[in-house]
Every structure is written in C-alpha cells, then in structure tokens.
Amino acid sequence: MSTRDKARLLIAQEAAKIIAEEGINDYLPAKHKAAARLGIASSRSLPRNEEIDQALEEYLRLYRAETQPQHITRLRKLALEAMRFLEEFSPRLVGGALDGSAGQYSPIILYVYPEAPEDIIKKLVDARIPFKESSFSFNLGHKRAMTYPALDFLVDGVRVELAVLPPELKGQRINRKEKTIPGGSLQDVENLLNGV
C-alpha cells in the first residue's frame, strides 16, 4: 500500500469516527477535520465519500454493534411518524436512518415534494411544530449545485431535515456530496421495521 493510500485510509477512518461521534454529517468538513487531526496536509490524500462510507460501516460494526440496531430502529420509527404526517408530500427517507449508518447525532433526512414550499410551511405552522428554515444543495446529473429550501424540526429530540424539492424531481436519484442516495418510501420504511 502506498503512502498516499495509507493516508487516505487513515483519514477515512478518522472521518468516520468524527461522523459517528461528533455529529458532523457533511463529509467534506469531516475529511478536513480528520486530516488536520492526523497532520496530513495534502488535499490529494482526501478519501472519496465511498471510502468514508466503508470506514463508517466498519466503525459502527466494531464499536456500536450492541447499540446500533436499536438506534436505527428508533430513527426509522420517528422517520415513519414524520412521513405519515407529511404523507401528502410523498416523503422519501434518505441517508443514515435508511441505510443503517446513522450516528448518534445524525438527523433524519426526508425529501418532500410539495406543489409549493409554502404548503409544507403551512402544514408545520398549523400543527404548531417549531421549525428553522435553511437550504439544501445537491448535484443532479450534469447540473451542479442545485439549491432548494430546507426545513428543520425536532421529533422526540431528534432533528428532522426536510429537503423541499419540486414535484418534477420525484422518483429521480439525487446525487448529494458525490454519493447517489436512494430514497425509501413510506412502505419501504415500514418494511424495514417489519423485517420484510
């Protein structure tokens, strides 16, 4: 293994630990923080997101084997509750709660597809659910850095991030942070919880 490959592996492992333990869910800051901790200055040594995903799976298998299944089940149950509440907007669960890699501080990420962003806001306001507005960026095909509204709120102490996307993106695979993310429908999440 070359020196550069060793550096990439070490950064991937440290970034996975940061994601799992510190609640940094964005890969690029996790890579930079890991490289700084390890004293590796070359940006050419930064691992790909897929390498961090592999390191995160390994980290969770080694250090969270006893607690990870219960944690993921809890997140999926909370996601299902939020998805049922937002069912009219065709919610899709993505990220760590879906694939099982969510760390202690990972949010539940849902893609929703209202006719207008105001429809989601009205739903939350009518239900008296406090939320914060932000934005959500991703790559779609050859288009770079598409940005859409996002809303964050808490369910039983867990942050839920809603990426508010236009209806024409429903059913498309969205590439976010160099990683294609499949989406889980309400039925998919129910099946995961029921062991189907």
In the structure, what pLDDT confidence band is assigned to residue 83 with cuts at 50, 70 and 90?
A: very high
Q: What is the DSSP letter of 71?
A: H
pLDDT at 175: 55
d(CA 80, CA 57): 23
pLDDT at 64: 82
Beta strands in the chain (DSSP E): 92-94, 108-112, 132-140, 143-155, 158-164, 174-176, 179-181
Does residue 52 contact residue 31 with C-beta atoms inside 8 Å?
yes
Q: What three-state secondary structure class fits 106?
A: coil
Amino acid letter, 175: N
d(CA 76, CA 184): 11
**Least confidently predicted of 26-40, 42-56, 113-127, 167-181:** 167-181
Range with the largest mean pLDDT of 97-106, 121-130, 141-150? 121-130
d(CA 181, CA 136): 14
Domain locations in the chain as residue ranges? 3-63, 68-193
Residue with the bigger pLDDT between 184 and 1: it is 184
Give per-residue pLDDT as tens, 162-177. Answer: 999 999 888 776 655 4
pLDDT at 182: 56
d(CA 148, CA 69): 32
The CATH class for the domain spanning 68-193 reads alpha beta
The average pLDDT across 122-133 equals 96
pLDDT at 177: 46
Give the residue carrying structure tokens 């102490």: 157
d(CA 105, CA 97): 11
pLDDT at 143: 60
Query: What sign results for the dihedral spanned by CA atoms 81, 86, 92, 93?
Result: negative
In the structure, what pLDDT confidence band is assigned to residue 178 with cuts at 50, 70 and 90?
A: very low
Question: 94: Cβ–Cβ under 8 A, 6 or more apart, which residues?
Answer: 109, 110, 111, 174, 181, 182, 183, 184
The average pLDDT across 103-108 equals 85
* Through-space distance between the first and last CA atoms of the chain, rounded to whole angstroms: 41
Does residue 80 contact residue 189 with C-beta atoms inside 8 Å?
yes
Does residue 62 contact residue 94 with C-beta atoms inside 8 Å?
no
